[in-house]
Structure 1
Amino acid sequence: MKIPDNIIIPEEKVTCYLLVPRIKDDKSKFLAQAGFTQNNPEDLLTAIRQLATTNEVVEDNTNEYGTFYTIAGYLQGVNGQNLAVITVWLQSKHDGSFRFITLRRVQLSLRPNPQPLPYKGRGARIKASLPVGYSIHTSRIYPP
């Protein structure tokens, strides 16, 4: 599923939260790696909008406000560096609009698989969503 083009990204979310240095959960240093600073918030808005409209959306959770969705992808930086992120969106129960909530850093790392791959002859199936040896690590843990 793709998110509609008429998404809502509050400018205050970018200028007063994502690009502001914080003691805890600072995202400004991470975003600065791709050239996003308080001097060019419109570039970050454009990159978030591009990520949202070009990648698949995945339903995550539902509460009294609506349904939460995530979109994983790369923010294309103004300096040419891409950042792997997961963006969180809320589809409002009230009017059905999609509103940007936040983004999180995704770290792709090579780690050896602690368990050997099963081998059962020619009929063995290996289910993979990432290249062999890659795993996704985020700073949040979601309940089942």
Structure 2
Amino acid sequence: MKIKYSKKRLYSHLFLGGMFAVLGFLQLLGQPNTPWIDYLQVFCGLFAVGAYFYESHFQYLNIDNGILTKNTLRKKSLQLDKIERIQSFPGKIKLFTSEEKLSINTELIDDDSRKDLLISLGSLEIENNPFIGYSPKTS
């Protein structure tokens, strides 16, 4: 199961990156002696567009075969059955095992995917699980 980024986040990366890249290219074409900052602007724009493609392909989290993987530049994985404690804060969920922890920013997640994540976490048999019995509100 993929836990997706919100569309707002993805499209803001694409829009801002495209704008930076286009404006940087226009400045490079318009000036014979281009300063290094114009090259930096083009690089940052292309990096943001690349981040859009990376995030739209891999998405924020994957849950496969009992393993939760956070897809950032440094991928981090936890086995769901080894989670010992879950802490819930506004906009953030922290998962703890005996060796490591994983922090999830719930504000980056699409609403439908957030519901799927909370249902998956609620199904874990952990003492003091804040998501036990979670069922999304239907309206």
TM-score, normalising length from structure 1?
0.25
Larger strand proportion of the pair: 1
TM-score by length of 2: 0.26
Which structure's CA Rg is the greater one? 2
Greater relative CO, 1 or 2 (CA 8 Å, sep 6+): 2
